[in-house]
Structure 1
Amino acid sequence: MGMTAWRRAGVCLTAAAVVVGVAGCQDGAPAGAEGRQTRNEMTKVLQAAFENTSEAKSAKVRMTMTMAGSGSMELSGVQGWDPGVMDVTMKTSGVMADDPDVPEKVRMIMVDDVVYMDAGAEQAAEMDGKRWMRMDFAAMAEEAGDAELRKRMAGGLENLNQDPAQQIALLLESPSLKHVGPEEIDGVRTQHYEGTLSFEEMADADESFDLLSEAERQELLADAEKSGMKGYDTQVWVNEDDYPVKMVIGMRTPQGTINLTSDYSDYGARAEVETPPARDTFDFVEMLKELEGLGADSGAGLSA
């Protein structure tokens, strides 16, 4: 496989890893209006939004991820939860799109915790017609032989699968939950809510952290503190039918802020996502083994 294909595959992997691993918070929100709701009133609205979204199981989604110094990434398509599936098209801009080897658009499919990235026609030409890169992150962690990495990867996939209902459930756990006030989003009347969770509070509320032992959990919390990671903020805009139409999550780090804005519509939209045929896919782990084999052969030839 040519170097261009390897670089393109690397770009696809990086994008998928960023999407899988993202967690979030948003810097300050606009000032609220008069007539803010009480805690009981907020809980009633958000509980209804949680129940409606859980029952819908899917929606059309447009996500925009911005990363300090790296440009932005937009994903649009359909997302389903219970089970978690996605079929989206990803577009990049800014620094991320400056590399000539980065395709303008990439289709990404996720089914059964496995991500498929369309690496493009040029990739297919160098891979016997196979243009879809298959990335089983759990298998990749297993291959690495790192138990903690396996657990963290499972948690990352849980974040990717996480539906807006689960985000609302986390928001309800926030001791700083606040009703910002009424706002219009794309002509739709909504109520705006926001709240912050510290990393430790989020770990307590998010069931994916139950995969970690107490020692691993404490180590993760210590690592987060050392890295300068701040608390998580979530904002949600709920329409008059008690569905979230917009959510903003992100994470502030010493390296900059990662923001993920999600716009939802057409709750209950069909999310029958199909994986690409096996004949059109190549496995990323196997590709790495191939590369390692080529390197070993080259080294053996030099030593001889």
Structure 2
Amino acid sequence: MSKSVMRRAGVAVTALAVIAGVAGCQGDDKKAADAPAAKARTQDRTAATKALTAAYEKTSEAKSAKVRMTMTMPASMEGGGDFEMTGVMGWEPTLMDMTVKGDAFQSEPGDPEQMRMLMVDNVMYMDMGAEAAKDMDGKRWMKMDIGAIAEQSGDKELQKQMTGGLENMNQDPSQQLAVLLDSPNLKHVGSEKVGGVDTDHYKGSLTVAEMIDANGSLDVLSDEERKSFLEGVEKAGIEGYDIEVWVDGDGYPAKMNVGMDSPEGAVTIVSEYSDYGAKATVQTPPAGETVDLMEMLGEIGEGLGAAEDAQSDSAAS
């Protein structure tokens, strides 16, 4: 498999991983306030919680939506650059059909301008393009069963982290709302237009520890593993998170902003949603047009092993 193919696969996975865990940490000023101000904040949070709880329930029941995501990552970050993802996502069951395009895909001559990515039954399929198919026996689709990869590793902690991350990879807007509802300083910012539609704008911030507590996919971790995860995130220079949502008159999120401040710079995702509840289906590519990443890596490893054995036999003789 060429370096170009592996790089494009890595870029795609990086983009999805960012979707899974990114959020911003601009935060609000936490100076002490007088009692009347504190009471006003409590009332504001109560009203905001009521509105977003209703939006959460409607969004959960919708089970699908069309989405356009724009992502910006520092160039110094692995897989960094600007990305745009458009398509449809579904939850319960989880599925995705997205087209991704961005700077990181076109760093070498012949690279495709965009990549289509599918996810269904916890398996990801990536259209690597016609050029990449030349390195994959004429097959342009790469299959990645992340759960199977984790299980094959034999590392139980890695299995928990990878499968938990996979659950988050296609995190639906209702789950983002659930996280935002755990913000201690949730507030209604005001009324704004998004794409010509009237919406109510809400915002809240969470510390790293609060975000971990709110993230249901991390419930599989033991207390020791959660502590280790928290220390790792803090060591990476991440201080906190912030989520913004604009809810339309029908009670659905029309737009969400999430991002994260890192030592390399700010990482942001802006998501715009529409057509909630529209039927979402994903047709996986035929097996004859698909290469399994694990099988390919296994064949490469066997080839390298045979070459090493031949060299050893030659040296011994």
Using the size of structure 1 for normalisation, the TM-score is: 0.91
**Superposition deviation, residue 256 in structure 1:** 2.0
**Superposition deviation, residue 222 in structure 1:** 1.5
In the alignment, which of 12, 22, 26 is matched to residue 24 of structure 2?
Answer: 26
| Residue segments in structure 2 that go unaligned for 5+ positions in a row | 29-39
Structure 1 residue runs of 4 or more that deviate by more than 3 Å after TM superposition: 26-30
Q: Does 1:48 align with 2:54?
A: yes
User: 1:201 aligns to what?
Assistant: 210
Q: CA RMSD for the aligned pairs?
A: 2.1
**Superposition deviation, residue 297 in structure 1:** 2.4
**Residues 8 and 105 in structure 2, CA contact (< 8 A), matched pair in contact too:** no
SS of match in other structure, 1:286: helix
User: 1:115 aligns to what?
Assistant: 124
**Residues 23 and 249 in structure 1, CA contact (< 8 A), matched pair in contact too:** no
SS of match in other structure, 2:21: coil
Cα distance in structure 1, aligned partners of 2:146 and 2:247: 33
Larger Rg: 2
**Superposition deviation, residue 101 in structure 1:** 5.2
Q: How does 1:91-110 map to 2 (within 5 A)?
A: 91-93=101-103, 96-100=105-109, 102-110=111-119
In the alignment, which of 228, 231, 237 is matched to residue 237 of structure 2?
Answer: 228
Q: Aligned partner of 1:15: which letter?
A: A
Q: Does 1:192 align with 2:192?
A: no
Q: Does 1:8 align with 2:18?
A: no
Cα distance in structure 1, aligned partners of 2:217 and 2:210: 13
Cα distance in structure 2, aligned partners of 1:254 and 1:192: 29
Cα distance in structure 2, aligned partners of 1:110 and 1:45: 31
Q: How does 1:56-67 map to 2 (within 5 A)?
A: 56-67=62-73
Cα distance in structure 1, aligned partners of 2:285 and 2:6: 17
Cα distance in structure 2, aligned partners of 1:43 and 1:122: 50
Cα distance in structure 1, aligned partners of 2:283 and 2:64: 15
Say which is worse superposed, 218-227 or 58-67, in terms of deviation.
218-227
**Residues 249 and 259 in structure 1, CA contact (< 8 A), matched pair in contact too:** yes
Say which is worse superposed, 82-91 or 139-148, in terms of deviation.
139-148
Using the size of structure 2 for normalisation, the TM-score is: 0.87
Q: How many residues align?
A: 296
Cα distance in structure 2, aligned partners of 1:17 and 1:140: 16
Cα distance in structure 2, aligned partners of 1:103 and 1:136: 23
User: 1:278 aligns to what?
Assistant: 287
**Residues 71 and 267 in structure 2, CA contact (< 8 A), matched pair in contact too:** yes
**Residues 27 and 205 in structure 2, CA contact (< 8 A), matched pair in contact too:** no
**Residues 78 and 86 in structure 1, CA contact (< 8 A), matched pair in contact too:** yes
1:201-224: CA deviations, max 9, x gaps? Answer: 111122111111111111111112
Identity in percent = 50
**Residues 9 and 133 in structure 1, CA contact (< 8 A), matched pair in contact too:** no
